Amino acid sequence: MRGVHAVAAKCSPGHYSDTGLAPCAPCPANFYQTQAGATTCSECPSNMRTKEAGALGREECETVQCTNNACQHGGLCVPLGHGIQCICPAGFSGRRCEIDIDECSSQPCYNAATCIDLPQGYRCQCAPGYSGVNCQVEKSDCRNDTCPERAMCKDEPGIRNHTCLCRSGYTGLDCDVTINPCTASGNPCDNGASCVALQQGRFNCDCLPGWEGQRCEINTDDCAERPCLLGANCTDLVADFSCACPPGFTGKRCHEKIDLCGGNPCQNGVCVDKLFRHVCICNPGWTGLSCESNINDCSSSPCENGGQCEDKVDGFSCSCEPGYTGKRCQHTVDDCASQPCQNGASCVDMLDGFVCKCRPGFV
């Protein structure tokens, strides 16, 4: 019949597809679906699982159980996700602890020992002359009677191999000759110290002043107690010290004050001692650290109207051009002041001179 199309069936419970319509697939193990026409399946809670695929509801999710034989060789069964995990004891591996690890594969035994694999480990069968868990220890060849009384036994590499060493202070084949430690190899004490021999090869060093240590090899730090005053730097010497005193002080410990004005350092002024330095208060007309420079009073060009300046001590003098006068040549000379014009003539002051305006009848 025209216009009639076949309609795909919905997925039944326990099944799903991308469209919810046939063809459908069963929900995977540990998933379920209660509705028809589903596009997804719901996952069982953690530590729960289904017996098979296509579960129709959550009630088919059962608690994961650890059975007695789930893990082999004493492995610990622990629920994990939708299954179990086996925590294996030492010496075993695998998903169910079914694999016996060969601990001998890493060759743990030394010195040609034989390795024997055990269920939970290994055992090393040592060759003669060796011991220890891995046969790594060489048995000592030294016994109480191996060497003389005043000697020490030293194990050497290999089996039945040793050396007898005389104890400190003794020598000879039987270690019965006493050694004088102060003369055997020269004086062991440094820096002129005296050596005092003791028993069993021991000695003491009698140090000279300024030295210390077992062999008098250490220069005593004479600056340790900070003998220098005023924060001066201390230099350690042998049984002595030296202080770098700041200006104004002297003496072994910088304890003596120096008169900083004693040498008259100020040439044209008064000296003031400021403890660590001196200051010069200069007389008028002088400058410089020692008041050694005469101040140039002409530097400001004080002379006016072309006058020539001559520097003096704390002053200056001006040589004025003709027609000018004054300290700075700032005034014009009044040539009419002396009334040079006669017979009632008028005097007109000029620069460097004057002019008389005569009355009629006079010249």
pLDDT at residue 160, rounded to an integer: 67
Instruction: Could you list the beta-strand ranges (E) of 13-135.
Output: 15-16, 25-26, 31-32, 42-43, 48-49, 62-63, 76-80, 83-87, 92-93, 99-100, 114-118, 121-125, 130-131
Query: What are the pLDDT digits (tens) for 70-125?
Result: 898 888 999 888 888 999 888 888 889 888 888 888 899 998 899 998 877 889 99
Q: Please give the residue that has the higher pLDDT: either 8 or 160.
A: 8
How many structural domains compose the chain? 3
Domain of 19, in residue numbers = 1-63
- Reported as a pLDDT band with limits 50, 70 and 90, residue 325 is confident
| 1, pLDDT greater than 90 | no
- Reported as a pLDDT band with limits 50, 70 and 90, residue 145 is low
* pLDDT > 90 fraction of the chain, expressed in percent and rounded: 48
| 33, pLDDT greater than 50 | yes
* Residue 79 near residue 64 (C-beta atoms within 8 A): yes
What's the pTM value of the predicted model, to 2 decimals? 0.38
CATH code at 113? 2.10.25.10
Dist CA 191 CA 194 (whole Å): 9
pLDDT at residue 363, rounded to an integer: 64
Asked if residue 1 and residue 59 are part of one domain, the reply reads yes
- 281 DSSP assignment: E
Does some domain include residue 107?
yes
Of 97, 122, 138, the residue at which a domain comes to its end is 138
Does some domain include residue 344?
yes
Does some domain include residue 340?
yes
DSSP bridge partners of 241? 236
Does some domain include residue 105?
yes
Dist CA 198 CA 179 (whole Å): 10
Q: Three-class SS of residue 104?
A: helix
| 59, pLDDT greater than 90 | yes
| 224, pLDDT greater than 50 | yes
Query: What are the pLDDT digits (tens) for 192-213?
Result: 999 998 887 789 999 999 999 9
Asked if residue 51 and residue 19 are part of one domain, the reply reads yes
Of 122, 138, 154, the residue at which a domain comes to its end is 138
Does some domain include residue 190?
no
Does some domain include residue 68?
no
Does some domain include residue 321?
no
Q: Please give the residue that has the higher pLDDT: either 267 or 179.
A: 267
